[in-house]
Amino acid sequence: MRIIPAVLTLATMTACVTAPVATTPDVGSSGTTSPVSQRMAKYTPVRLAADTAGLSVSERRMLPLLIDAARAMHDVFWMQSYGNRDSLLSSITDPVAREFAVINVGPWDRLDGNAPFIPGVGAKPEGANLYPRDMTKAEFEAAVAAGGARADSLKSLYTLVRRDAAGRLIAVPYHHAFAAQHRHAAARLREAAALAEDAGLRRYLTLRADALLTDDYQPSDFAWMDMKSNTLDIVIGPIETYEDALFGYKAAHEGYVLIKDREWSTRLSKYAAMLPGLQRGIPVPDAYKQETPGSDSDLGAYDVVYVSGDANNGSKTIAINLPNDEQVQLTKGTRRLQLKNAMRAKFDKILLPIAQELIVADQLDNVTFDAFFSNVMFHEVAHGLGIKSTINGRGSVRTALKERASALEEGKADILGLYMIRELHSQGELGTASLDDNYVTFLASLFRSIRFGAASAHGRANIAAFNFLEGMGAFSRGADGKYRVDPVKMRQGADSLSRVILTLQGDGDYEGVGRFSERFGTIGPVLRADLDRLRTRSIPVDIVYEQER
C-alpha cells in the first residue's frame, strides 16, 4: 500500500517515554524484591562462533558491511521499543542494571512479563513506543473505522502512529521516521551487493536497500525467496510484530547476519517439497486446510554471526521462518533457517539441565540434540501449513486476531511440527531414531520456553500447550516431581490441539482465542513450583550473545 508521508521530528517521536533516574534494584512482577543481579543470572553468555573458512575473499569483505547494516536496526528498535536510549542508560548509575537494560532494550524485564526493574519507570506500554502513550485502543479503532487510505496507513506494518499539532492521530512512514538509520543500512547493503559473487544475493541486497528507502518490502521478499546458492545471508528490516502487544500491527526492526552450513542444509532440503502433501493430511476438517502452501520453500541450517534489534532482546531466536507476507507465502512458500550454533548453545546450557531436573530417569536418553533440532525445524516448517485467510470473510488470520495472532500462530507451529514429524517418521524419512525422542524432548522444551514468560508469544503458546496436553494425559507428574510422557496420549492430544487452534484461526475468532487463552494460558501452582526449582538450581533461562554492540 502507498503510505501518505507526514512530517515529524525525531525528537518528537522518541519523547514518548521519559527516562527515570535509577539507582537501586526494583520490585518484580510477583511483588517481591528482585535485585537486578538475580535477574541477570537468568542469562548465560555465549560467544557466537561460525566457520568462516569456506568464505571467499569477497564474502569476507562483505561480512563487516552486513554487520554494520544490521547494527543500524538495533538503533531503530530502541526507538520503537522505548524511546531515547542514551537518556535512559546515562540515568542508570548501577552498572549491572545498565547492562540489564542493554540486554532487554529498555527498563522492562522481558523474561518476567515485562516487569520494570528501574524504579519509577512504570509498566511497559502495550504499544511500546509505536503509538502515542496516551492513545487508547478505542481512539485508534475509531480513527480507522471509516476505512480508506488513512486507516490503511495507521494500521500499516511500516508506520509509527503519532499526533499532529491538533492532536489527531497520523501515520509516519518508517523510512521517514528512521531516515538516517535506513539510509545508513541501505548504503551498506549496496556496498555489499557490489561485492556479491552470487547473483541472487546481489539482487536481494539491492532490492532490500530500495525497500528501506520506500517501505515497499514485497519485491525484496520475493528476491529473498529466489536465492538458492548463496553462502552469506542477511535478514534485515521491520519484520516481526511481537513488540506491538496493543494490536499486533506494527513490525519491529531486526537484523541477522548468517553463514549457511551447506552440509546440514543439503540434508534438510528435501522436506520443503513435501509440504503440499502434509497439508492435505492435517487432522482438521477440509475447510481449514483448503489452501495450498508454496512448494518453493527453502529449508537450511545456518550459523549466526551477528544479531540485532528485535532478534536480540530478551529470549533469543533459534530458528527463522520468513517472509511473513501472506501473498509471498502462498506464491513461493517460506524459507526456514535453523540457527545451528544458537540451537546447540541452548541445548547444552539450558535444555539438558532442565531435562535432568524434570524428566524421569528412564526417559532421559530420549532427550537428544537431533530431536531438539527436528522439533525446532519442523516448528518453522509448520508455519507454512494450516490457513492464512479466514474461511468466513474476516480477512487474513493475522488481521482478524490482532494482538492475539502471534501467540496462537506459535502454538500452531509447535503442534503441527509434531504432526509433521510423526507423518515423516511413519514414511521412513527421519531415519531410525525413536519418535519418543521427539515427544520427550518436546516436553522438556515446553519447560524451557514457558520460562520466557507471558511477554513472549512463544512463552504464552507453550503455557497453553502444556496445560492442554496435561489435561489430555499426554504426560504425568510423579510424586518425585519428575514428568513421564505417554506417547499415545501425546499424539492424541497434539491432534486435538491442532483442531482447536486451526479452527480458531480459520474462523478469525478473536473472542474465542481470548477464551482459549484465559482457560489454558495461566501457570498453575505445581508448574510454578517446578519452574522455581529450575531457578534454585541456577539453570539459566536464556543466552545472551557476546558480540560487539
Q: Quick: pLDDT tens for 264-274.
A: 787 777 776 77
| Pairwise pLDDT comparison (332 vs 75), residue with the higher score | 75
Which of 208-212, 369-373, 428-432, 445-449 is the least confident region? 428-432
pLDDT over 50 (residue 93): yes
Q: Is a pLDDT exceeding 60 seen at residue 16? A: no
pLDDT at residue 12 greater than cutoff 50: no
Q: Return the percentage of the chain with pLDDT > 90, whole number.
A: 72
pLDDT band (50, 70, 90) for residue 278: confident
Cβ–Cβ under 8 Å, residues 504 and 415? no
- From residue 188, alpha-carbon distances to 72, 214, 215 in Å are 10, 16, 17
Cell digits for 175?
523510512
Using the 8-state DSSP alphabet, how is residue 56 labeled? -
- The pLDDT score that the predictor gives to residue 454 is 64
Residue 9 pLDDT: 30
Question: In this predicted structure, what is the pLDDT of residue 34?
Answer: 58
pLDDT at 23: 33
Whether 271 and 421 have beta carbons less than 8 Å apart is answered as no
State residue 120's pLDDT score. 93
Instruction: Supply the pLDDT for residue 25.
Output: 37
| Model confidence pLDDT, tens digit, residues 375-405 | 988 887 788 788 889 999 999 999 999 999 9
> What per-residue confidence (pLDDT) applies to 4?
32
Mean pLDDT calculated for residue range 164-183: 98
State if pTM tops 0.85.
no
- Rounded Cα–Cα distance for residues 378 and 385 (Å): 11
All three cell numbers of 374, joined, read 527436528
Res. 17: pLDDT tops 60: no
Q: Which long-range contacts (CB under 8 A, 24 or more apart) does 31-34 make?
A: 34/112, 34/115, 34/117
Q: What does the alpha-carbon distance between residue 259 and residue 261 come to, in Å, rounded to a whole number?
A: 7
Query: Which pLDDT score is estimated for 184?
Result: 98
Q: How confident is the model at residue 1 (pLDDT cuts 50, 70, 90)?
A: very low
Provide the grid cell at 300: 537450511
C-alpha separations of 156 from 12, 135, 215, 248, 444 in Å: 20, 17, 10, 10, 38
In the prediction, which pLDDT does 31 show? 41
Give pLDDT tens digits for 448-460.
989 877 667 778 8
Is pLDDT larger for residue 145 or for residue 48? Answer: 145
Mean per-residue pLDDT, 201-218: 98
* Mean pLDDT computed over 311-317: 91
pLDDT per residue over 481-540, tens digit each? 999 999 999 999 999 999 999 999 999 999 999 999 999 999 999 999 999 999 899 999
Pairing state between β 26-27 and 319-322: unpaired
pLDDT, tens digit, for every residue of 281-310?
A: 888 899 998 887 765 567 888 999 999 999
How large a percentage of the chain has pLDDT more than 70?
Answer: 92
Q: Over the stretch 26-50, which tens digit does the pLDDT of each residue have?
A: 434 444 345 899 999 999 999 887 8
- How many residues belong to the chain? 549
